[in-house]
Amino acid sequence: MSVTSVKLNTPAPYFSLSKGCDLPQVVVVSTFPTSPQYSIEDDISILSTHKCIPKMCTTRIVTGDTSIPMPIESVKANLNDSVRFIKLGKVDVEDLRIMQQTFNGMQNACVVASGHDMSKDAIIGFSSGKVETGSSTMVITLDEALAYFPEYFESIKKGEDNLEVAKLVAESSAFQNILLLNTAPGGNSHIYYSKQTGEQLNIESKSPVSMISSTVATAAIANLSHGYTIKEAIYGALEFVQNAVILADSNKHPNYMYSVSLPLECMVNDECFEAHEIRSPKISPLPKPKFDSFYQYLIQHPLVKPSWEAYTNHDFVRQIADGILDINKFKFFIEQDYSYLVDYGRVHCIAGSKAPELENMEEELVIVGRIREEMGQHEQRLKEVFGVKDDSYFKTIERGTALNNYSRYFNDIARRGSWEELVAALTPCMMGYGAAAMKFKNNVKAEKGGMYDEWINIYSCENYEDGMRLGEKILNHIAERSSAEELERLAKIYGEVCALEAQFWDAALVF
């Protein structure tokens, strides 16, 4: 019999800073069982993701037409007077009565409810003064509002005056704040209305995601429990639920845990991890593809090839080579690229900090040096050609949408991703500029020695080719360290960044 002894590690130093900090508790009050559309499991996932301690308080057990109230002691155990944050789940007027009998702290509590879960009688009960709270918010979809209060909305058609719908919900209830969801087709518009101040906030999503009021309400109460204002809380709740829906699993169930990391991954990468005996190599069920150059493999990969070809055959480069690109478009590009290179260099520094070997760190330092040289070339152009006088100009360049989208992508990979993923996100810039410029190396029609001729020469010269060979070497290194599944993930990243590069040049052409 084999006997192995290992030692558990202590908490990571950064985590240890939170010692003694109490997480907020959020109590979900609901009957049991819940409806098929309302899931306590979703509440638990959402609250846990938001670093809240979820507590469930069941008021009644309902079976068919039979309603069995839970013992008062059981309700009091979960709904004691210290509770400050409550999410009302599937509740009726009877549940509100039970809460009033058992809970003396309601007037100091922050309560969020949803039109998806509360019955109309419960909303009316809430409205008639049977329940008084410290603050209260109703999250309700437009369809739910019209279904609950048809007598008020006979003359209101969808999309005509949704603010009036929010106001009428507020007038018909005791809720101080109303968040009216899905006020436009596709579900990408929402309205917040404050009964107390009359303030209105319109919120639009870039993605057509139809919101479920119950899950938005849960995320909102979680944000409120951390001290955020009501407007901050509902914004965060809406974006969180939207992202969870977009990142749904294979069964199309929203992924409310998308931002949660696996503790074991941090543990085994800790410098003081000693239990190496328990580690075993990951066995991939897929065969690893064979190739001599990971770079060549990537640019032929179906997840990469369409974006790579759109990027490296972009009309922006052709217009530069032909000398016909509008000078103002080129100035816009140089400004945007200068700001991009600041971010690009910063992220390469992060890549160096994540690099596994000293050699890889040194390679990143070489790349950062070349990035600074390229920034110097941009500074020279803007000063000599476009008349920039003051160096402070470079700190005040207005960033465009394409630049922000691109920087957001690799900054996020830098924060959350591995070194291999970061390399995959950073190399398309270096490799693509060279590949695009070299197509015109011997066919530049722009004025000899002019700014456009110089630009093509910079990205097609021998020195730049040396940089590309270094990039290819690094790509081969990360391929050696990656499984078949990881190579697919790297290909996805590479392809998405190529698309962002093409959009960056698109922005210059439409300027």
Question: Are 152 and 170 contacting, i.e. CB atoms less than 8 angstroms apart?
Answer: no
Residue 219: exposure state from Cβ atoms within 10 A (0-12, 13-18, ≥19) = buried
Count Cα atoms within 13 angstroms, Cβ side, for 488.
6
The sign of the CA dihedral 432, 435, 440, 442 is positive
| Catalytic residue (one of 52, 57, 110, 429) | 429
pLDDT at 448: 92
Q: Looking at this protein, which amino acid is placed at residue 383?
A: K
Question: Are 136 and 96 contacting, i.e. CB atoms less than 8 angstroms apart?
Answer: no
Residue 19: exposure state from Cβ atoms within 10 A (0-12, 13-18, ≥19) = exposed
| Direct distance between the N- and C-terminal alpha carbons of the chain, in angstroms, rounded to an integer | 72
CATH fold of 21-246, please?
UDP-N-acetylmuramoyl-L-alanine:D-glutamate ligase (3.40.1190)
Question: Are 289 and 487 contacting, i.e. CB atoms less than 8 angstroms apart?
Answer: yes
Q: Which residues make up the CATH 1.20.910.10 domain(s) of the chain?
A: 283-510
Known catalytic residue: 461?
Answer: no
Angstrom distances, CA of residue 392 to CA of 165, 382, 398 = 50, 13, 13
Q: Looking at this protein, which amino acid is placed at residue 145?
A: A
Long-range contacts formed by 231-236: CB under 8 A, 24+ apart: 231/192, 231/201, 234/137, 234/139, 234/179, 234/192, 234/201, 234/203, 235/203
Known catalytic residue: 171?
Answer: no
- How many CB atoms are located within 10 Å of the residue 170 CB? 20
Q: Which residues make up the CATH 3.40.1190.20 domain(s) of the chain?
A: 21-246
The rounded distance, in Å, linking the Cα atoms of 272 and 357 is 18
Q: Which residue has the tokens 């690009």?
A: 344
The rounded distance, in Å, linking the Cα atoms of 56 and 500 is 45
CATH superfamily of 283-510: Heme oxygenase-like (1.20.910.10)
Cα Dmax for the chain: 89
The rounded distance, in Å, linking the Cα atoms of 458 and 417 is 31
pLDDT at 128: 46
Closest of 36, 25, 94 to residue 61, by C-alpha: 94
Long-range contacts formed by 67-70: CB under 8 A, 24+ apart: 67/94, 69/94, 69/98, 70/98
**Residue 192, SS3?**
strand
CA torsion 510→499→309→370, rounded to 10°? 90
| Catalytic residue (one of 364, 374, 420, 501) | 501
- State both tokens at 100: 């009033």
The rounded distance, in Å, linking the Cα atoms of 170 and 193 is 8
The rounded distance, in Å, linking the Cα atoms of 469 and 19 is 48
| Strand order from edge to edge, sheet including 66-69 | 66-69, 53-63, 25-32, 85-88, 110-114, 135-141, 177-181, 189-194, 200-204
The rounded distance, in Å, linking the Cα atoms of 245 and 255 is 7
pLDDT by residue, tens only, the chain of 511 residues: 788 898 899 998 888 888 888 999 999 988 877 666 567 889 999 999 999 999 998 888 887 778 888 888 888 888 887 889 999 888 888 888 888 777 776 677 899 988 887 777 776 666 544 455 558 899 999 888 888 877 666 655 555 678 888 888 888 777 889 999 998 876 689 999 999 899 999 999 888 888 989 999 999 999 999 999 999 999 999 999 999 999 998 888 999 999 998 888 888 888 888 888 888 877 767 788 899 999 999 999 999 999 999 999 999 999 999 999 999 999 999 999 999 999 999 999 999 999 989 998 998 898 899 899 999 999 999 999 999 999 999 999 999 999 999 999 989 999 999 999 999 999 999 999 999 999 998 889 999 999 999 999 999 999 999 989 989 999 999 999 899 999 999 999 999 999 999 999 999 999 9
Helix pair 315-322, 451-460: axis angle to 10 deg:
120
